Structure 1
Amino acid sequence: MAETDQQERTEQATAKRLDDARKKGQVPRSRDLNTTILLLLSSLAFLVLGRHMLEGLTELVRTGISIPRDRLVHADRLVTVLVHDFHLALILLAPFLAVTVIAALLGPLALGGWAFSTESLAPDLSKLDPVKGLGKLFSAQGLVELVKSIAKVILVSVVAGAMLWRFRDQILAMSYEPLWSAAAHGAHLIGLSLLVLSLALALIAAIDVPFQIWNHGRQLRMTHQEVKDEFKETEGDPQIRARVRRMQREVAQRRMMEDVPKA
């Protein structure tokens, strides 16, 4: 029955159906696009701000472990020091956190826009149906998700292997560097690796975005009868409107005939 219904849904979704779906929070989404944007902007921010954050946090830890004894034995003084250090750490991390928050908001905005709906927060018991779950698992959507997961595992493995091989000499030399220098060097390599990984994931996102748009339109397709019913709801029954127009023409003709003798 579901297959027959799906075969009958050959009509593109109307503007009203798309609008109703959006009100319910049903818009095209790409998790791969969201992940790519978040990882790309975060890695760039880490490359730019990482050294400054690491220096500040290192100094904060150094001063934190050298708290005077008189402050340790007084709870109120210790709390004051901890609150002060927490504020300093928050200030150091604030720019990076701001970039990650903005990146997390840009993903949904780039595809589908922001669509908040309370209906999507309501529990849906149909999602617990094992039959529907198996249907989704073996559907086109499930197959695409499986292919993407395999591709992402391969990409991560290739990027990690390539970065380790490319910077193998520098990684080995870090064991001879001072602690601070090795930490800064390692942070830079991590940021660079995340940047390369985000660029690789952009390839998957470039394929996933068109698929999600197409799949969203496919899920909202309508049967011919649904299109007719919606037209009746919005414009009225065509038969009734035709009858009204016919009656209006008859009334106009009678008036014309009545006006002829007067002329």
Structure 2
Amino acid sequence: MSDEKTEPATPKKRKKAREDGQVARSADLVSSVVLLGLFVGTPASLPQIGSTLTSFFMKCFAVMPTKAGPEKLGEMAGDLFRNIGQLTMTPMLTAMGLGVAVNILQVGLSYTPKLLEAKGSRIDPLQGFKRLFTPRAFLEIFKGLIKVALVAYAGWDYLSKHAEDCMRLVLTSPTQIAGEVGKMTHELGMKMVGTLFTIAVLDYAWQRYQHEKSMKMTKQEVKDEMRDAEGNPEIRQRIRQRQREFSRRRMMSEVPKATVVITNPTHFAVALVYKPGQPGAPRVIAKGQDRIALRIREIARKNHVPVLENPPLARALFAQAELGDEIPADLYRAVAEVLALLWRMGSVPLSPQPLTTTAFPTEPQSSESQSSTETESETH
């Protein structure tokens, strides 16, 4: 089951296949659109082309008695080809533009220099002979025979329905014959090219289906590609380790700015900063456990930052507060008591208001809780 190609192709595989020239494209669609453009655009120029040819032959008949030399005849022929070229330029350019547009619609703007590289296998007669007898080659031959048969049938069907019209042309004048033959030729061509266009559309749908089928991947191939895109696991682990070390060093550099460090005393340490008079509650600027907690305590003592042991508060702050965040509202009271103790000890600057839970922003309290808070404030 793991070897079955059930997963759609990833963008990386599609890009590589496109660079190698592996795209869904139908050459018959391009040729049929070009022929349709010619058959649609050429009839508008046919009357002018006919008058140009008539004028050329009249000039030829006029100069024949004069025994004009090759120079004169060459000049007349040059004028003829130049005039016809000018008349057919528009339908030719239109057909070429349609061919380019169809190619772009099929595969987009794509440049594949790999297909231009010289490879010995491409000119090796033995390799070429082997390619003639592959299942794909036989399938292409079979498809070509079917296309020829369907286009030929479309032409035969048209001629069989207009056989009587062709017979009646014998009884008409030469000018009428030319007009009718031109009209029937145009209708015959349009029917055959229309059949070819229908076949080409179906062929393009088949080519696209086959291309998508060949591009599918197994689950293991998708996993391998994702692993390659993400890089070596050891390198990723090393990058994450470096990121953690950088974050830890940055956190340790904030410890000297702390107002107090609350410890477990050995397993947890949380550093808080609080500036009285400024809006907001105390903020966590560093926290850690075990060796990191020990390092936080060492830096704090080295920089004369108060270190207080309060195991329940240390555990609650470590679990509920993230770095850079303000302390949770349910811990306001406990932290306020710690700060009040430090204020009485002279370890923090004098606060412009009593250090209680009302010193931090909280949600509106009920009248009973508010009165009890005011009582506690007066007590402090």
Asked whether the two chains share a fold, i.e. TM above 0.5, the reply is yes
Corresponding residue for residue 152 of structure 2: 157
- Flag the 1:65–1:242 CA change in 2: closer, same or farther, 3 A: farther
In structure 2, which of residues 108, 124, 142 is the aligned counterpart of residue 113 of structure 1? 108
State the one-letter code of the partner of 1:118.
P
Does 1:35 find its partner at 2:31? yes
**What TM-score, normalized by structure 1, do the two folds share?**
0.77
Tell me which protein shows more helix as a share of its residues: 1
Deviation of 1:245 after TM superposition, in Å, equals 1.1
Q: How many residues align?
A: 255
1:89-120 CA-to-partner distances (Å, cap 9, x unmatched) read 21122222222222322331221124233332
Tell me which protein shows more strand as a share of its residues: 2
- Flag the 1:50–1:110 CA change in 2: closer, same or farther, 3 A: farther
Deviation of 1:192 after TM superposition, in Å, equals 0.9
Question: Per the alignment, in what secondary structure is the counterpart of residue 181 of structure 2?
Answer: helix
State the one-letter code of the partner of 2:41.
A
Q: Distance in 2 between matches of 1:163 and 1:235?
A: 62
1:204-262 CA-to-partner distances (Å, cap 9, x unmatched) read 22321122123333444556666566556654223421332144335545745344552
Q: Distance in 1 between matches of 2:179 and 2:170?
A: 13
Q: Distance in 1 between matches of 2:43 and 2:77?
A: 28
State the one-letter code of the partner of 2:87.
L
Consecutive unaligned residues in structure 2, runs of 5 or more: 253-285, 287-291, 306-380
**What TM-score, normalized by structure 2, do the two folds share?**
0.56
Matches within 5 A, 1:116-195: 116-127=111-122, 128=124, 130=126, 134=130, 137-139=133-135, 141-142=136-137, 144-195=139-190
Asked if 1 retains the 8 angstrom alpha-carbon contact of 2:154 and 2:191, the reply is yes
State the one-letter code of the partner of 1:209.
Y
What's the Cα RMSD here? 3.3
State the one-letter code of the partner of 2:45.
L
Corresponding residue for residue 12 of structure 2: 16
- Flag the 1:91–1:69 CA change in 2: closer, same or farther, 3 A: farther
Deviation of 1:30 after TM superposition, in Å, equals 0.2
Does 1:91 find its partner at 2:82? no
Consecutive unaligned residues in structure 1, runs of 5 or more: 1-6
Deviation of 1:163 after TM superposition, in Å, equals 0.9
Q: Distance in 2 between matches of 1:236 and 1:129?
A: 43
**Highest CA radius of gyration, 1 or 2?**
2
